[in-house]
Amino acid sequence: MPHQRFPKIEILSIEPHEIKFILSETDTSVANALRRIMIAEVPTLAIDLVEFAENTTVLNDEYIAHRLGLLPIRYSAPDSLRAGDCHGAFLPHRECVCYERCPRCSVEFELNASFDDIIRERHSAAAPDDLPFTITVTSADLKSNNANVSPAHFLNTEEEGASHDAGISIVKIGPGQHLKLRAIARMGISKEHAKWSPVAVATYRFFPLINVNHDACAHLTQDQKQQLIDVCPDRILELDPVSGKILISEYAWETATYTEDLKVLQNSMKKRQEDEDFVTVEHSQDRFIFSVEGTGAMDAEEVLMSSLRVLKERLNYLATMVENLKDM
């Protein structure tokens, strides 16, 4: 096959909530397809239906339902501590053969929070003046009927340590107020609604190709060399104090941006316009730096693996359709 490529992935850093990697030996079409799949086509769980039994809080039903829908819901396989792909564990609601809902296509959460009951349970020994005026109802108050499914209360341990609540805030309740509801979570993709998106950030940028023409730079004064270094706001260049040469910074590929200021300055320094540039910063056409940050519904690594699975399924489907057309 002509121009056949074998894309590679190099992991730069990996954490439960964020992953950075380099995708190489491919082109922009594949990089953008992978990014779009991570944003719009990786299946996750999200609350899709809320049934209120009682709501005497300051927020109306629709507002609370909207906030519940935005809670990231994590699915963890029984043999794994990571939040993984729920594909295969659940069916899309429209594809399930049940009449309304069943454990195969949905997960039920219950929330029953009463200010007076909580005060009696948690602060029964406290003096009246020490009682709180309000209590925050959080995602930790949601009780799931599936042991493998729960809300993601925090994105990481640092966020948990800095928080004053036990989870994501839903509503504050005061004396005499009561919130009781049942929420149904279903599997979907964010192409249908943004609440099913597993990523908060999924971006890529071209890998920079930085080249310093030392022969041309040899004719520059030290002040001119310093001007070339200073004109790059991302500090991709540095001046060697010993040799006086312009060098490329160690982490220039992480911070390099593409600006016309460098080109304008170089043109003003050239004796002739046709002379070679002193420094060039160009786009690589086959290497891309990805940065993916999850919402908490899935680990960033699982988002990447799931997007690759979806891409493979789409390509297999396309190949099958092409073969069927040939046989017609």
CATH code of the domain covering residue 309: 3.30.1360.10
User: Which pLDDT band, with edges at 50, 70 and 90, does 106 fall under?
Assistant: very high
Task: Look at residue 79 in the predicted model and tell me its pLDDT.
Answer: 66
As a whole number of angstroms, the distance between CA 90 and CA 209 comes to 45
Can you say whether the dihedral through the CA atoms of 72, 76, 82, 83 is positive or negative? negative
Query: In which domain, by residue range, is 127 found?
Result: 44-196
Chain centroid to CA 202: 5
Chain centroid to CA 65: 23
**Per the structure, how many domains does the chain have?**
2
Helix, strand, coil shares of the chain as percentages rounded to 5? Answer: 30, 30, 35
Q: Is 182 strand, coil or helix?
A: strand
Mean pLDDT within 62-82: 86
Residue finishing a domain among 196, 224, 243: 196
Tell me: pLDDT of 60 over 50.
yes
| Domain co-membership, 300 together with 191 | no
Read off the DSSP letter of residue 252.
H
Tell me: pLDDT of 6 over 90.
no
Of residues 4 and 63, the one with the higher pLDDT is 63
Read off the DSSP letter of residue 90.
B
Confidence (pTM) = 0.84
Q: What angle do CA 181, 41, 307 make, to 5 degrees?
A: 120
| Domain co-membership, 191 together with 81 | yes
Q: What's the mean pLDDT when you consider all of the chain?
A: 88
| Domain co-membership, 24 together with 101 | no
| Domain co-membership, 35 together with 58 | no
The secondary element (H helix, E strand) that includes residue 34 is helix 28-40
